[in-house]
Copies of this chain bind each other. A is one copy, B any other.
């Protein structure tokens, strides 16, 4: 506090060696005699010395930082508070740390339009992980073309000039719907917005199952929030009565909103209506009835995202990849 910041040259003087020796010693460079290294490292610990990251980054041309940017549409109101998105971020954080990198949490507000300029040229991060493919991929594509090491959490089937990691949304949608049908549903309802890349795949899976089983089906396009789901189910029931007996919701939050609307009208879940969600957020198992859902393995995905990003940093190119998802059957179906 009172004393001025210790720098490497001070530490070196204290140890009676040159600055370069001190630097190498702290980086465990075998050029330096083992005893010397250990002596200097001990001294550093004793004096609470920390390398100045700004100086180091300037010299090294590397930041050891990965930026995570949450890519939400301004228009739709899927908020940053969506527990699933935040879980993804949290898992990415762990994965990033395990590789010795730090996590800069960013968003369109800070990064603006020119992600390459802001993060890479600006030496704020070595690479970018985008959470949420969104409807509009221009900025991602521009960044990738400018040479930004970048990976995206989204729908891996989308063809793009950057790798995308995400669940097999088609299979997820397919197996959720098949499960609903197997449980006796014959008038199905899809709740979500197929214009969104990942949700579009889930909807494709839904349609595929519907056609194969030759059952009735309808789709209501809503924002990805529980409020929108609650409102739309209420409106539908009011206008047309109970015209469905199975719901595939594009996310758990949506499913829970629908569930609430049904329960308020004493429509029994799963007897009158079966529901399956998507994501398997913490709330899914604590709702009543507990929510059947397609579990996304965010942990595995986060690890893959980071690995792919790091391999880009070392010059390799890599492809999109799907992470297996699995049906979790609970009481709602």
- Partner-B contacts on A (CB < 8 A): 1, 5-6, 48-55, 57-58, 63, 65, 68, 80-81, 83, 86-87, 89-90, 93, 97, 102-107, 109-110, 114, 116-118, 121-124, 146-147, 226, 230, 253, 256-257, 259-260, 263-264, 282-283, 286-288, 290
Determine which residue in A50, A68, A89, A118 has the highest number of CB atoms from chain B within 10 A of its CB, and name it: A50
Q: A116-B48, A117-B50, A264-B288 are in contact. Are A110 and B97 (CB under 8 A)?
A: yes
Q: Which of B58, B103, B107, B146 lies in contact with A1, CB distance below 8 A?
A: B146
B122 touches A52 (CB 8 A): yes
Q: What distance in Å separates the Cβ of A25 from its nearest Cβ neighbour in chain B?
A: 17
A107–B98 Cα distance when bound, in Å, is 12
B282 touches A81 (CB 8 A): yes
A118–B68 Cα distance when bound, in Å, is 21
A51–B87 Cα distance when bound, in Å, is 33
B104 touches A103 (CB 8 A): yes
Q: A122-B53, A123-B53 are in contact. Are A286 and B230 (CB under 8 A)?
A: yes
B286 touches A226 (CB 8 A): yes
B49 touches A117 (CB 8 A): yes
B86 touches A90 (CB 8 A): yes
A181–B123 Cα distance when bound, in Å, is 58
In order of increasing CB-CB distance, the 8 nearest A-B pairs are A86-B86, A54-B57, A50-B122, A1-B147, A50-B121, A54-B58, A50-B117, A263-B288
Q: What distance in Å separates the Cβ of A309 from its nearest Cβ neighbour in chain B?
A: 16
Q: Which of B104, B106, B288 lies in contact with A288, CB distance below 8 A?
A: B288
A54 touches B63 (CB 8 A): yes
Q: What distance in Å separates the Cβ of A267 from its nearest Cβ neighbour in chain B?
A: 12
23 pairs from A and B in contact (CB 8 Å cutoff): A1-B146, A48-B116, A48-B117, A48-B146, A49-B117, A50-B122, A53-B123, A54-B63, A58-B58, A68-B105, A80-B90, A81-B90, A81-B282, A83-B282, A83-B283, A86-B87, A97-B109, A97-B110, A104-B104, A230-B286, A256-B287, A257-B286, A264-B288
Residue of B nearest to A229 (CB): B286
Residues of chain B within 8 A (CB-CB) of A286 are 226, 230, 253, 256-257, 260
A226 touches B121 (CB 8 A): no
Known: A50-B121, A257-B286, A260-B288. 12 other contacts (CB 8 A): A48-B117, A50-B117, A52-B123, A54-B54, A65-B104, A81-B83, A81-B87, A89-B105, A104-B105, A226-B282, A264-B288, A283-B283
A51–B104 Cα distance when bound, in Å, is 18
A97–B8 Cα distance when bound, in Å, is 32
A97 touches B93 (CB 8 A): no
B260 touches A53 (CB 8 A): no
